[in-house]
Chains A and B, each alone.
Chain A
Amino acid sequence: MNKFKIFTAGLIEQNPVLFQLLGMCATLAVTTTVVNGIGMGLSTTAVLVMSNLLISLLRKIVPQKIRIASYIVIIAGFVTIVDMVLKAYVPSVSNSLGIFIPLIVVNCIILARAEMFASKNGVFPSVLDGLGMGLGFTIALVIISAVREILGNGTFLGISLFGANYEPVIMAVMPPGAFIILGVVIAVVNVIAKGGKRNA
């Protein structure tokens, strides 16, 4: 597979949220504002790139039987680093994401890429795969959080869009809205993907 394809696979065709349905907890929980969505997406991308890099480097050393346990320790280590960096430099993002930063450890996307890609491929392709999947996750989070923030708050990235008379759909930023909007976004993406295939 050529390098460019490895990178773009995660962005669209195999988008972790929209097509593989991985990492749903974080997707539903943090997408109340676009800033949160970007923060979560980039934190996950950072962990994914670093863990893919290290796991790919160690792939010939780690014994087969304890590989999952060692992947989890590696991932948890990087998550702790990201958690501490966020707390030190962007405390506002760290506060609003709260418990979902440590919970990146159990985000299935990261373990899935470690097991399915980094443990079988070289260092450079693994980093590209991590970057592609991470940015794909970020894109999905931005799409969902944009819908929720615009409907629920009338703002985009904190900037008011409709003026003071806009009556926000508060349900969109509440828990039920998260489920319903994610369902609708996935349905729309499915329709677009099918339409594309029919035309091709």
Chain B
Amino acid sequence: MLKDANIFVLAITAIFVENFVLVKFMGICPFLGVSKKTETAFGMGMAVIFVMTISSLATYLVYKYLLVTLGLEYLKTIAFILIIAAIVQLVEMFLQKITPALYSALGIYLPLITTNCAVLGAAILNIDNGFNLLQSVLFGCFSAVGFTLAIVLFAGVRERLETSDIPEFLQGTPIALVSAGLVAMAFLGFSGLSF
């Protein structure tokens, strides 16, 4: 079980073997939407790493010390989505004040993250897997690194697609999905790495 895994195994699992985008299908909207250029894909990835790490910490603490003590575990979906929306807002305001440079780089991607299902997915998986605080934060962070890896690789593929000659009926979304399938096939190779 992942619960007893050490940090190294957790990292390899979250980044490669069970990649959030290509194996678990979370965060497909930004994966398809913000992957036309490598730089923007990288910016989105960084914003997701930032938010997912913080939200894993916050949702774990709220679940463990607020919902469980009050016997309100069934409210976790509602509580988590509100926490994530609030964190995204806070992170946005914080970055704007403290590091305007980082803010202007990540700015446009931050509001989009609220509806990125990878963030809520990681929060719920942390609870379902029975992780402790450290494991939750690391799992959130590593999963987001896996997201970044997938979106940056895919953006590289899409940049090449721009200049290639694609049949008319496959242009746009269909060819993007088919090439995502090929990237996913490459990641399938990691599924042999079971711990």
Contacts and interface: CB of A to CB of B under 8 A. Distances in A.
Given A76-B78, A80-B78, A105-B77, A28 B25 contact: yes
Interface range on chain A (Cβ under 8 Å from partner): 35 or more
Given A103-B121, A187-B170, A180 B181 contact: yes
B169 A190 contact: yes
Nearest to A182: B177
B85 interface: yes
B173 interface: yes
B175 interface: yes
Interface string A6-45: 0000000000000001001100110000000000000000
A168 interface: no
B185 interface: yes
Nearest to B84: A106
Contact of A175 (B23, B76, B82): B23
B175 A21 contact: no
Interface in B85-127: 85, 114-117, 120-121, 124-125
Given A106-B120, A180-B178, A191-B169, A24 B77 contact: no
Given A99-B124, A191-B169, A72 B81 contact: yes
Interface range on chain B (Cβ under 8 Å from partner): 35 or more
Interface in B172-195: 173-178, 180-182, 184-185, 187-188
B29 interface: yes
Contacts of A184: 174, 178
A24 B32 contact: yes
Contacts of A21: 32, 173
A80 B82 CA distance: 14
A105 B81 CA distance: 8
Contact of B181 (A72, A108, A111, A176): A176
Contacts of A182: 177
B27 interface: yes
B153 interface: no
A29 B100 CA distance: 38
28 contacts: A21-B32, A25-B27, A25-B117, A28-B28, A72-B82, A80-B77, A80-B78, A99-B124, A102-B77, A106-B81, A106-B114, A106-B115, A106-B120, A108-B29, A171-B185, A177-B181, A178-B25, A179-B184, A180-B178, A180-B181, A180-B182, A183-B174, A183-B176, A183-B178, A186-B173, A187-B169, A190-B169, A191-B169
Interface of A: 21, 24-25, 28-29, 69, 72-73, 76-77, 79-80, 83-84, 99, 102-103, 105-108, 111, 171, 174-180, 182-184, 186-187, 190-191
Given A28-B28, A176-B188, A183-B176, 10 more contacts: A21-B32, A24-B28, A103-B124, A106-B81, A175-B23, A176-B181, A176-B182, A176-B184, A179-B184, A184-B178
